């Protein structure tokens, strides 16, 4: 059974600092997704990573994928308060398949 783990579960960081969220998964996958969720809200798609070595960047967020290590990272550069949210990674095996989500990382950026 596919398992997806994220760490840390909770991250409090100061504005302007850099940090990385890690996502490990247990078996070979085809795609890896990163989502953002604000409290009580739905999931906002951030990135879809399709192949080994894939790197995508949007603003202060950069995601990468290492399929050999079964590891994806979400790097936050110079954090700002607006980035406070819960971030989930999700793994998909096959096409038109289900997503298996990680436990989530709750990010709190303090002023």
Partner 1 sequence: DAGVTQSPTHLIKTRGQQVTLRCSPKSGHDTVSWYQQALGQGPQFIFQYYEEEERQRGNFPDRFSGHQFPNYSSELNVNALLLGDSALYLCASSLYGDYGYTFGSGTRLTVV
Which pairs from 22-25 meet CB under 8 Å and 24+ separation?
22/71, 22/72, 22/73, 23/71, 23/72, 23/73, 23/74, 23/89, 23/102, 24/70, 24/71, 25/70, 25/71, 25/72, 25/91, 25/100
Count interface residues toward partner 1 (CB under 8 A).
25
Q: Does 41 bind partner 1 (CB under 8 A)?
A: yes
By C-beta, is 18 or 45 nearer to partner 1? 45
Q: Does 108 bind partner 1 (CB under 8 A)?
A: no
By C-beta, is 20 or 103 nearer to partner 1? 103
Q: Give the range of 43-51, 55-63, 65-73, 77-85 binding partner 1 by CB under 8 A.
A: 43-51
Question: Which of 14, 50, 81, 110 is the binder for partner 1 (CB under 8 A)?
Answer: 50
């Amino acid at each position: 059974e596919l398992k997806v783990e994220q760490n840390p579960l909770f991250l409090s960081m100061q504005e302007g600092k850099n940090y990385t969220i890690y996502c490990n998964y247990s078996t070979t996958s085809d795609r890896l997704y990163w989502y953002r969720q604000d409290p009580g809200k739905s999931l906002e798609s951030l990135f879809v990573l399709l192949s080994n070595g894939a790197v995508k960047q949007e603003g202060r967020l950069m995601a990468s994928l290492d399929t050999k290590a079964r590891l994806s990272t979400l790097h936050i550069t110079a954090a700002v308060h607006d980035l406070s949210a819960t971030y989930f990674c999700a793994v998909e095996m096959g096409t038109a398949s289900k997503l298996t989500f990680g436990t989530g990382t709750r990010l709190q950026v303090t002023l």
